[in-house]
Structure 1
Amino acid sequence: MGAPPPQTDDDHPAKRGRVTPAQLREQIREPRNVRLGVLVLGILLVLVALPIYSWSKTESRDPVFVSLDSLAVPDWANNEPQDQIDGNRWCLEECRFRERTTHSSNPPEETAKAYHDALIASGWQSWKPAKCPETKVDGSYTCWTRDELTMDLWVRAPACGNVPIGVEPEPGVSAAPGVPGLDPEDCKGSDVSIKVRNAIADERTGPLPGINPSQVGETPYGLAPVAAPS
């Protein structure tokens, strides 16, 4: 057997267990680089996720309500709006019907003017079909069109505005127990209703029958009525 190779200083047990300053700096640098990389990745995820979240939130909302939000009406004319949706956006079986109810702090006349000016500035056009409204109502009731949409705008005094406030009960008749009197502050301002539908689903966009339907039955809009046989 040959003689074993001579040992050097690097092969000495004490030398093999010693960490050089360069190795120590490298060991310290590695965890720091990992933490820095995680931090940078987190920042990038936030910067990317926020625009995507904002975009998806906007897309999930009906664009009509987004358009109503952008109307240049004063804040006092749109207090705590409530939105409702019926039907679907693509008119499968039933076209979408949107309705917004809100409250204004100012009287109906001033509120109606604010909405009229905002609608005109937003590209809506005044529309006067035969059934606008279908029955006589109090306040200002107007109709509008824009692109493929129609709108009904109703501005009126609050419902309590038609109820006498502070009326004394008749002699010998006591007020109903547990029923508080109306507060005049609750009856100030005006109520606003906005109804928006697709024009193809609004029967008022088609020609109305020219004769009494009760004599010939229901006639679809757009078709000439046929006289009943004699």
Structure 2
Amino acid sequence: MYTDSHCHITDDSLYNRIDEIMENCFSQNVSNLMVICCKETDFIRACSLKEKYPFIRIAFGWFPGDAKEIAESHFKILEKNIDKIDCIGEIGLDYYWDDSFKEEQKSIFIKQILLANQYQKPIAIHMRSATKDTLDILKEYAQTKILFHCFSGSKETMMECLKLNSYISFAGPITFKNARQAPECIINCPVDHLLTETDSPYLSPVPFRGKQNEPKNVQYVVKKICELKQIEETVLCSQIEKNFYSFFNKN
């Protein structure tokens, strides 16, 4: 049974065929999903989806790239719906495309961490071209469990993340030929702190690179990790499922 700890299936590009996507999950033994919502419309769809498929977990948070548009009312939306939210995310910092509003990004990041602390919700982290600032903020403010989504950093960065007792999630890029740092990270990541994801509809793994991604393709991420760590697929899937459940456990 496979686990997709980060997918955007309530995004317009996938939601228009949601029944097919869920059928594909069942046919390919995907038994755990965390649906990531970066807009209120995505969250409403995810809540409706969870009524039909109770095994779904819902993450909701304001994306760093949208920091300029986030007002106090947006935090009230999160707090009003906090009982329906399993994880606050994806939140974090992204300086890759535009680093002209770093302070706005940091502000909404910290506010969401504090909200997670208050309600004891784990957080899913987006960290792109902002490693130092992201880790500095997490070290100072985070008090709940942390998941670094679609990890693409160095082994040294991963070790710093693990010092926060976090989970490291790997996605389709680990199957790419140019994934130079991924093998070393995967080999050195403790199996009880490892998760898998698709980040669908993005980052399709080989052999579907360049095509629209969906949760059923998480198996290719798992297979690559098994190859690198020299571990049986059933053993790894079982451990990842345990890690997924542990991520939501407050103890």
TM-score of the superposed pair, with normalisation by structure 1 = 0.22
TM-score of the superposed pair, with normalisation by structure 2 = 0.20
Q: Radius of gyration: which is bigger?
A: 1
